Amino acid sequence: MAKKESSKLKIAIIHPDLGIGGAERLIVDAAMELASIGHSVHIFTSHHDKNRCFEETVSGVFPVTVYGDFLPRHIFYRLHAVCAYLRCLFVALCVLLMWPSFDVILADQVSIVIPVLKLKKSIKVVFYCHFPDLLLAKHTTLLRKIYRMPIDFIEERTTGMADLVLVNSKFTASTFARTFKHLEAGGVQPSVLYPAVNLDQFGQPHASKMNFLSINRFERKKNIGLAISAFARLLALDGNNANDVTLTIAGGYDKRLRENVEYLEELKFLAQREGVADRVDFVTSCSTSERNTLLSQCHCVLYTPQDEHFGIVPLEAMAAYKPVIACNSGGPTETIKHQVTGFLCEPTPEEFSLAMSKLIQDPKLAESMGVEARQHVVESFSTKVFGQQLNRYVLGVARGKRD
């Protein structure tokens, strides 16, 4: 018998590492919204550090269960993908064997869990593809290509086994089609579900500082050096108007990850080399409340990744009444209105510094853009809109429909 629209479901969410990041923010928002609708939600993960996580995961709104944290994350800083697969497979097997059947399981990032979960015929699986992993992995040497070949093959085949595939932007949907040609030929077409932000956490801005803010994980692909170089150019060319201007580099930082440790040191060295170290502040792993304070007090947010598949930071910034300067590529082109809620620029220090200069010379422009930005997020990217769309997808899958 078909389920009614008002049906309440038992939903499991499987996520690799419930830390702090855009992917984790989406999973937490999904759990919160589905639970608020009345569904029974349970998150399963291989790692959950209660000192480094989103507060909602320890609030008791939904349970979080950890399996497999004893398994290695890497072997001598190698084989990260294989270890991630093994950890997620262990989580999936524990869910399958130790818990009653769920109506729907939402998995993301690691698709190898899908065929395991599908061993139980009654379970429907929704897979959220943030971006094809094979495009994020390095294929620079022959050995790496050989190593990645079976992993890339498995990713495509297992992704296609989901009852529904969701992606975070039209940019990712087009990339998905170009990358997974066999799935496209087989009729697998992902549906777009934009991530969202909780508007309630952002009150009226208190812009007491002429501060530019960058928020990203300390990873090289986030291109944070662009913010430092653009800031240095701004000071060099617009010094008279920039006497009190500062830059804050904040974001997720995990000392267990060698890249985080190395990249933070590289960025500090770059700030010294550019001669702006005394005006650049680095904040690692700030809490949600600390992040919100930084957003409230900043003048503008710099978002530096190129071809970012979505990017939650621009939405958070706009929800906090702040304009955003971002690269003119990827997901930000779908969320930022150029010259209305911010600026879309070429990824060069010259282009970024020009946009930064406009906002310094005309503070009222930053204020008016911030108001437009907030309204834009309210209309299109609130958690309420996100929850309603996700609920429709989940109910559709539970009824046996592929959207």
Domains contained in the chain, CATH given: 10-196+382-398 (3.40.50.2000), 199-380 (3.40.50.2000)
Tell me what pLDDT residue 207 has: 61
- In sequence order, which residues have a C-beta less than 8 Å from that of residue 295 and are 6 or more positions away? 202, 213, 215, 301, 316, 317, 320, 322
Residue 164: band (very low, low, confident or very high) from pLDDT cuts 50, 70, 90: very high
Percent of the chain with pLDDT over 70: 97
Q: Are 347 and 226 in contact (CB under 8 A)?
A: yes
* Helix/strand/coil for 307: coil
Tokens at 283, concatenated: 């904040």
135 pLDDT above the threshold of 60: yes
Tens of pLDDT along 62-108? Answer: 999 999 999 998 888 788 888 999 999 999 999 999 998 899 999 99
- In sequence order, which residues have a C-beta less than 8 Å from that of residue 286 and are 6 or more positions away? 250, 294
Q: Which of 10-19, 146-155, 326-335 has the lowest mean pLDDT?
A: 146-155
Residue 2: band (very low, low, confident or very high) from pLDDT cuts 50, 70, 90: very low
Q: Half-sphere exposure of residue 343, counting CA atoms within 13 Å on the CB side?
A: 19
Tens of pLDDT along 198-227? Answer: 898 888 776 667 899 999 989 999 999 999
Residue 4: band (very low, low, confident or very high) from pLDDT cuts 50, 70, 90: very low
Residue 344 pairs in a beta bridge with 326
Q: Which of 39-53, 129-143, 368-382 has the lowest mean pLDDT?
A: 129-143
257 pLDDT above the threshold of 70: yes
Tell me what pLDDT residue 75 has: 87
Tell me what pLDDT residue 67 has: 96
286 pLDDT above the threshold of 90: no
CA 122/CA 104 separation, integer angstroms:
9
Place of tokens 């029974």: 40
Length of the chain: 403
Tell me what pLDDT residue 402 has: 52
Tell me what pLDDT residue 5 has: 46
Tell me what pLDDT residue 252 has: 83
Burial class from Cβ neighbours inside 10 Å (0-12, 13-18, 19+) for residue 240 reads exposed
Own/partner pairs, 52-56, CB within 8 angstroms, 24+ separation:
52/19, 52/20, 52/254, 52/285, 53/18, 53/19, 53/20, 53/24, 54/18, 54/20, 54/24, 54/25, 54/28, 54/288, 55/287, 55/288, 56/28, 56/31, 56/32
Residue 326 pairs in a beta bridge with 303, 344
Tell me what pLDDT residue 253 has: 86
Tell me what pLDDT residue 180 has: 93
